[in-house]
Structure 1
Amino acid sequence: MSGRERTRWHGAALVVAVTVAASAVLQLVAVPSAPLFGSLFGGMAHALTSRTPLELPAPAFRVAQAMIGVIIGASVSLPALTRMGSDAVAIALVTAGTIGVSLIAGRMLAVRRDVSPVTGAFAMIAGGASGVVAVAHDLGADDRVVTVVQYLRVLIVLVTLPVVTAVVFRPEHGLGLLPTADAPLLPSLAYVALALLLGLLLARLVPVTTAVLLGPFLVGAVLSQSGWLGTVAVPTALEWLAYAAIGVQVGLRFTRESVASIARMLPAVIAVIAAMIAVNAAMGAALARLTPVDGLTAYLATTPGGLFAVLATAADTGADVTYVMAVQLVRLVVILATLPLLARWLRRGARADET
């Protein structure tokens, strides 16, 4: 069957088949957010081989965006945030510095004619990759570029993390375990349903594009920390469905021209990401000097991405897991809250440059 003759049903079947197969393979080789990448390939498999229009229904994509907020909200730790105490000023400075470095990196990427300032900034912003990808298109960025670059950064961080940790800090291993708790299914499903429902209702009251993500995030964080439903977590299957919906929607927007354009910019992107990691490591060294925390804890706290791998590394090497989580979560919340303002500011600046 040629690309012209493919029906929507055949296209949907192809997307699902490629998504399942690719996700399984990526999961086996420990690629971060395997369902998102697998579904990205699934969407691309149809978009690049057929002219038949296919897209995720708008309500389904909105629920997927909201689910990303719920997932992030479930990871919030109130004890971790309150633990910062007297280090709040230093952490705020490091957070601002990390965002500033991200914007500079994004501006460097936007030197290319095929990358807008908004796309460059969103592609390079350090932290909250899934949240940034989920709202990138709504805020005027090219979500195809944003998705590839964001998760390339996460992948590079994950690859370099054990090397830097072992070579520079030489910690002992097996010193701790990442805190986990069994979450019963029914309370967890109730948590997801309430966070989605109340979060989306809250989003309708707030005229901000990212409210569809921030509303469920806030409700989810409050519910998970209140203990009202007991120990809760987002079931893995629902996480995968949310990531898959985001990935499919992005993948279906790809064209052969966009693939070629992204491939051409990869060498520059890798160089900029490497520079970002180095600068963030320097900020970690500064944090260690300004606060009582050790160098390894400060380095892990300022790593630009890969939150759960960073927390696992912190636990395994004896670093302060609570402190690492607090710094990473502060940056994540600040980024998600300021994305609409950032997009507006960058678009205004781009228009001023054109006139």
Structure 2
Amino acid sequence: MSQPNGSSPASPNKASPVVSPHRRNRPLHWCYLLLVSGGIVTFLEYFHAPAALLLGPMIAAILMVITGHDMSLPKVPFRLSQCTIGIMMAAHLPLSTFNDFASDWPVFLFGTLSTLVASGIAGVAMAKSGLLPGTTAIWGASPGAAGVMTIMSEGYGADMRLVAVMQYTRVAFCALAAMVTAGLLADGDVAAYQVDWWTVSSWFGFGETLVFIVMAFAVAVFVKISGSFLLVPLGLGFVASALGWIDFVLPEWFLASGFALLGWAIGFRFTPAVVRHALHVFPYIVLSIAFMLVVNVIVALVLVAWIDIDFLSAFLGTSPGGADSVAIIATNIPVDTGFVMTMQISRFLLVMVLGPLLAQWLSKSMQGNNT
């Protein structure tokens, strides 16, 4: 897919995570990368930053690249990390979500579509401004599943690096807004989320999970759709879990490894020119996020007037940030957790279906207007 404003410094160069035969990753560079990644993750975790396990390695990889360390990641680890994240998402999709949605579908449809419309407006505005190529702006503004949108965006002609900047900036700002709102409105403090890093609940179950990931990876190789290495494991994993065929066991250290690989793969694609352009457009990215948060407040107020729900539950349920960070906040304060998670998961599923179609349609429309 061609891009408008192709001369922009943010235009995708289709950088591949494959190692060039003329370049070799130096072991010492990887030691530096591990140390820097660990330090940044520790810093982010101390402040309970969302997506720290992915953001830390991504920032570390960017620092390595822009300081002259030539590094890259082979395809197989990169794709296996996507499969791991797909299985993780499948394991967190309860069957009750569909029942809750069916019983109150106008409410959930309104909440999810409102966020999609707001993100579409923000994406088109960024693209119309000429600051970012159209496809990149639209994918970067797509709400809900930051990792999914980042991974899938490249297959539709977007610059995955700048999409990642937009997606994870929004996740961080929306999580901060949710925590501040919760602190102001909730009774009691928002508790810190405790993670048991090294416990494996079942080694047999973990072995089954590893086999399933490898099988899903093999199927994804033959499925010719964008984002297949995330979407195929997600679909297969959800069906297998719903039918009771497997109980996925994903230790925290294993998930952290998958997040780190994905973060490095994204970070290695940044060049000094991309970083300079990202810093140039950053204020406008923040402005688009502020617009989406204003819409978030308005939609929450409408839901409060429409159904029997408190403002904080409505605000968290319609937050355009990451479902994982919202879930952590929602489970540690007195809100309607069922409503919050059903709204978040409903939006995630809708974004998975409509997000790529909306991004393609808007991108093609803008390309047609530019010709």
TM score, norm. by length of structure 2: 0.83
What SS does the corresponding residue of 2:128 show, helix, strand or coil? coil
Q: Deviations over 1:118-176 (max 9, x none)?
A: 11112111101122222332332112212122111111122222322344xx3434899
The 5 A counterparts of 1:111-260 are 111-167=128-184, 170-173=185-188, 184-204=201-221, 206-230=223-247, 232-260=248-276
2:57 to 39, 47, 62: 39
Cα distance in structure 1, aligned partners of 2:288 and 2:201: 43
Q: Is contact 1:37–1:247 with CA below 8 Å preserved after alignment? A: yes
1:94 paired with 2:99, answer no
User: What is the alpha-carbon distance in structure 2 between the residues aligned to residue 176 and residue 277 of structure 1?
Assistant: 23
Q: How does 1:263-302 map to 2 (within 5 A)?
A: 263-302=279-318
Distance 1:280 1:195 in 2: 38
Distance across 2 between alignment mates of 1:222 and 1:86? 22
1:114–1:166 Cα change, 3 Å: closer
- Contact residue 84 and residue 323 of structure 1 kept, 8 A: no
Q: Which residue of 2 aligns with 1:109?
A: 126
**What CA distance in whole angstroms lies between the structure 2 residues aligned with 1:223 and 1:85?**
22
Secondary structure of 1:207's counterpart equals coil
1:18 paired with 2:39, answer no
User: Does the aligned pair in 2 maintain the 1:188–1:235 contact within 8 Å?
Assistant: no
The one-letter code of the counterpart of 1:92 is L
Bigger helix fraction: 1
1:340–1:163 CA distance, 2 compared to 1 (3 A): closer
Q: 2-side partners of 1:88 and 1:17: how far apart?
A: 48
Contact kept? 2:317, 2:339, Cα under 8 Å: yes
User: How has the CA–CA distance of structure 1 residues 37 and 227 changed in structure 2, closer, same or farther, with 3 Å as cutoff?
Assistant: same
1:50 — aligned with what? Answer: 68
Looking at structure 1, the residues matched to 244 and 353 of structure 2 have their Cα atoms a distance apart, in angstroms, of: 25
Q: Does the 8 Å contact 1:74/1:234 carry over to 2?
A: no
TM-score of the superposed pair, with normalisation by structure 1: 0.86
292 and 110 in structure 1: CA distance in 2 versus 1, 3 angstrom threshold: same
**Identical-pair percentage:** 25
Unaligned runs of 5+ in 1: 1-5
Retained in 2: the 8 A contact 1:198–1:219? no
Cα RMSD of the aligned pairs, angstroms, is 2.8
Contact 1:210-1:339 at 8 Å conserved across structures: no
Question: What's 2:11 paired with?
Answer: none
Q: Structure 1 residues 15 and 234, CA, compared in 2 at 3 Å: closer, same or farther?
A: same
Residue by residue over 1:286-308, the C-alpha shift from the partner in whole angstroms, topping out at 9 and shown as x without a partner, is 22333333333222110111323
Contact 2:144 2:320 (8 Å CA) reproduced: yes
Does residue 328 (structure 1) correspond to residue 344 (structure 2)? The answer is yes
- Structure 1 residues 29 and 76: CA distance shift in structure 2, 3 A: same
**Structure 1 residues 185-217: Cα deviation after superposition (integer angstroms, max 9, x where no partner):** 325424532442343344345432122211111
Q: Is the 8 A contact 1:118 1:141 kept in 2?
A: yes
CA distance in 1, matches of 2:154, 2:307: 39
Offset from partner CA, 1:45-93 (integer Å, 9 cap, x none): 33212274x3211122111112221111111111233223431122112
Give ranges in structure 2 of 5+ residues lacking alignment. Answer: 1-22
SS at match of 2:331: helix
- Match of residue 3 from structure 2: none
Distance in 2 of aligned mates of 1:43 and 1:328: 30
CA distance in 2, matches of 1:177, 1:50: 38
Mapped contact 2:142–2:355 kept (Cα < 8 A): no
- Displacement, 1:103? 1.1
Equivalent residue for 2:361, pick from 345, 352, 355: 345
Q: Which residue of 1 aligns with 2:330?
A: 314
Q: Is the 8 A contact 1:177 1:315 kept in 2?
A: no
Amino acid at match of 1:127: G
* Matched residue count: 345
Aligned position for 1:3: none
